[in-house]
Chain A
Amino acid sequence: MAGNLIKILFREYGKNCKVVGIADGFGVAEDPNGLDAGELLRLFEAGSPITGFNKDKLSYTGIMMDRSTEEGLARANSMFLRVKADVFVPGGGRPNTMNGSNWRQFLDVNGKPSSPLIVEGANIFNTPEARANLFKHAGVVFVKDSSANKCGVITSSFEVQASMLLSKDEFLAVKDELVKDVVVRLKEYARLEADLLFRAYKNFPGDLPHFSERISDAINRCTDAIADRLATVNPEDPLFQELLPLIKGLIIMPWQLFKSGLTFGYSNLRMCVFRKSSS
């Protein structure tokens, strides 16, 4: 997750994006001026932990430490609490890492948070209590796990569908085109989720995780109601045939011709990542 994120960020934002801290199960690397992008991508491609980072590539402000030393262990564990960044992405780590007893350490002496935005790539890294307190006391904006990593769930369902519909050889023959198609859909889907999430957040009272939950609840409640309604409707039924094109995607809903007004224009984005040991 974190490796792919780094790859996409450097691809999309180039020098406008800096990764200022990475911690994993082996160690930690930090540099307020940004860790070397080429070296990070090399580690990602090699599936190497952060301790494989070539120290010659560190700038004079950078450090890299192993968890085997006392200082390295302390730094790796506290990286996400200390390192100042524009966005913190938990992309791995243990459940409930930021919780009711340590969320205050995310704030400095002036009450300013280490990052004003937390995008939860990994599930349940932050407890609801930590989220609520950081939002209330420091205005930290959370993009909740269920919204932030929904595309992973969708990708899995596409994989299942491809395996049900295609033989292995058929799949390999169309794989490149299929992947392109899926990526376009994932981007569109991420845009829809972000649009609705930020639109609700802007126009109604409540914090972002609250709206993430309400989006999930509304979709699930509606899905269950329709699935219940269809439980006794069989494929030869006209209603079933009428609705089946929804799967096929040939029905273009009127609003799909609209493009979002929301833009994600970041410059000089500084990111801090907590990643799994080798993902």
Chain B
Amino acid sequence: MDILIYECVFSENLPHKLVEVAWDRVPSRFPVQYQRCYIASTLASQLVYHEGIHLVESQATGDIADRAIQYYRASKSVGKLCDDIESKEWSGVDAESKKRAVDLLRRGGVRTSLGIF
């Protein structure tokens, strides 16, 4: 496997300025294996930095990748839910409680919605 050619050390997305100027060049200028590596390390860092070390440590190696991908999908869905709640009025719920509910969702909603961790 040629995966060892690139060290998967990036943990952050591209700087905004690079996206703005050259995003359309990424498919042609970044070798495919480099893109795979980049996706993998970015997703891995986000998972570990948000959920902590124990969540990854406790997974069987064979399950990690698919669960990370599920996690990515769930995080988009929970993020959208939070945005929806924030942008709408909840009758009978004061602003402080609403904010607290959204904060809790943002912090723990992704993990909880998967039901596997």
Contacts and interface: CB of A to CB of B under 8 A. Distances in A.
Interface of A: 153-154, 157-158, 161-162, 164-166, 170, 174, 177-178, 181-182, 185, 188-189, 192-193, 195-196, 199-200, 211, 214-215, 217-231, 233-235, 239-240, 242-244, 246-255, 257-258
A230 B49 CA distance: 22
Give the one of A218, A222, A231 with max B CB within 10 A: A222
5 contacts: A181-B16, A195-B49, A221-B61, A222-B44, A246-B46
A182 B48 CA distance: 21
Contacts of B36: 227, 230-231, 233
Interface of B: 1, 3, 8-19, 21-23, 25-27, 29-30, 32, 35-50, 52-53, 56-57, 61, 64-66, 68-69, 72-73, 75-76, 78-79, 82, 103, 105-107, 109-110
B106 A255 contact: yes
B65 A228 contact: yes
Contacts of B65: 225-226, 228-230
B53 A200 contact: yes
Contact of A178 (B13, B15, B103): B15
Contacts, number: 184
B17 to A, nearest CB: 4
Given A221-B64, A254-B82, A181 B43 contact: no
Given A200-B52, A229-B65, A235-B27, A248 B19 contact: yes
Nearest to A252: B79
A166 B22 contact: yes
Contact of A247 (B32, B42, B72, B82): B42
Nearest to B37: A227
A189 B29 contact: no
Given A219-B11, A249-B13, A258 B106 contact: yes
B23 A230 contact: no
B1 A231 contact: yes
A168 to B, nearest CB: 14
Contact of B53 (A165, A215, A224): A215
A244 B35 contact: yes
A177 B17 contact: yes
Contacts of B66: 229
A218 B45 CA distance: 9
Contacts of A164: 29-30
B72 A174 contact: no
Contacts of B103: 258
